[in-house]
Chain A
Amino acid sequence: MPINQTIRNHMIFRVILQGVSHPGNVLSLPDPHEDEPAVFAVLGCLLDNEVTLSVIGDPALEAALARHTASRTAHPENADYIIVRNGTTCGKLAGFKRGSLEYPDTGATILYLVEELSQATGVVLSGPGVNGTVSMRITGLDPSELQLLRQVNSEFPLGIDAIFLDQSGHIACIPRSSRIGVN
């Protein structure tokens, strides 16, 4: 692997880590490459052949991501990483892996590719990583999706961790530990 790609992976992971440990904070990924969409960069520093992925409603992207990360594809219900392109899972979110009480870390991670993320009035988060409350606006996400996410994450420590990625390379996270409200 080229050395500058290795370093880029380290830098991108640090942004993701900052995002997960500060839910609802919209952060910028480092210097986006024109020939590498942000979703490839984000998954490229995390996924390998030990995990499975699934892309909802885009077989071409699924094949490309599997090739890029060397991970295997799986049915969304069994996948460790699920990528959603059109802002909705059409209710399927409730069927994704939430882990077991013994191994809650086996719950899935879902990556929503949305239009725009901004630090404006929208979804209100509180819980670990948030000092009081934080507000984030997600444009291009079906509002019912957040309701569903709140439901599947209502039995902590079981749940699904959500990452949001917008078209200009911004990233924000809602891990299962966050409490979700809307205003």
Chain B
Amino acid sequence: MLMREWLQNENEPGSDGAPAAGYPFGFMDEGAKKEIRRSILKAVAIPGYQVPYGSREMPIARGWGTGGLQITLSLVKPDDIFKVIDQGCDGSVNAVNIKKFVAAVADVAITTDTRAATLIQTRHRIPEEPMTDRQILVLQVPYPEALREVEPSEMETRRMHAEADYSRMWLFLYEDIVKYGEITISYRYPVTVNGRYITDPSPIPRWDVPKLHMADTLFLFGAGREKRIYAIPPHTSVEPLEFEDHKFRTENFSGKACARCGATDTYLDEVIDNAGGGRSYFCSDSGYCDKRSLAWNH
């Protein structure tokens, strides 16, 4: 039964508790959703701090976006307009699966248009179009701990966060510069949130890191396998780690344009033609590229 029918029939006897395809609204049980909601509220109140939570089994494998999915399911509303992107693409198998699943258990409308969406779940990209304060971006996170690169122990990284003892992270970056002449982290670039916590922005490219700074939108991060939820609220300072003489810089696409829509101001994927060996570039954000291509052709 569709959600619209549930809402219409809500006052009729016998309609209570009628699930979609055998599942309750939002798939998860109420206890799970309540715990995730409490964790989300604490995460927003302590920007950048990873709140531990009891990650539930989902009908997709851990590591395929269960953290993001659990956040989505605990806060989705039937009147939401939902978008899912996987590495910028609306049409990848993973994105389509998550989209279909949430539509089935929460009866939300689906879109590929960033501006039209009220709730966006994403893996490894932030949409090119700026988002508003009425929208929420849910990011799927494989490794929530930014310090894991320099310290394998969870006890120890927790102490380091507690004491804001980030010297080893800075040393790691310094050694990178000594060895290679620059910081070689390409994605998962560590950031300082609200001047306090060093945080992993999930594997977004450097290109997307400045979009987190003083944004209008709430960013929620869910790591299902690692059982952590954290958040970056709107209008919060997010500073990539950098040195005075080695500033943070984003990927450089100067002189390149999307072969499909002609965009020169987007994050581009490099595609190599197997036959001829030629290189071409395409927008990573397929929804934005579609919109531009349509405008071009009409």
Contact = CB atoms under 8 A, between A and B. Distances in A.
Contact of B47 (A17, A48, A177): A177
Interface in A1-32: 1-4, 6-7, 9-11, 13-14, 16-17, 20-22
Contact residues of B: prevailing secondary structure = mixed
B218 A17 contact: yes
Interface in A38-61: 45-48, 50-51
A3 B10 contact: yes
Contacts of B18: 3
B260 interface: no
Contacts of B78: 7
Interface residues of B, number: 52
Interface stretch (A83-91, A112-120, A124-132, A143-151): A124-132
B26 A4 contact: no
A129 B77 contact: no
Q: How many interface residues does chain A have, given as a range? A: 35 or more
Contacts of A7: 3, 6-7, 25, 77-78
A62 interface: no
Given A6-B25, A21-B218, A46-B38, A129 B235 contact: yes
Interface string B233-252: 11110000000000000000
Nearest to B134: A18
Interface string A140-182: 0000000000000000110101000000000000011100000
Interface of B: 3, 6-7, 10, 15-19, 24-26, 30-31, 33-35, 37-47, 49, 51-52, 74-78, 133, 136, 158-159, 161-163, 194, 196-197, 218, 231, 233-236
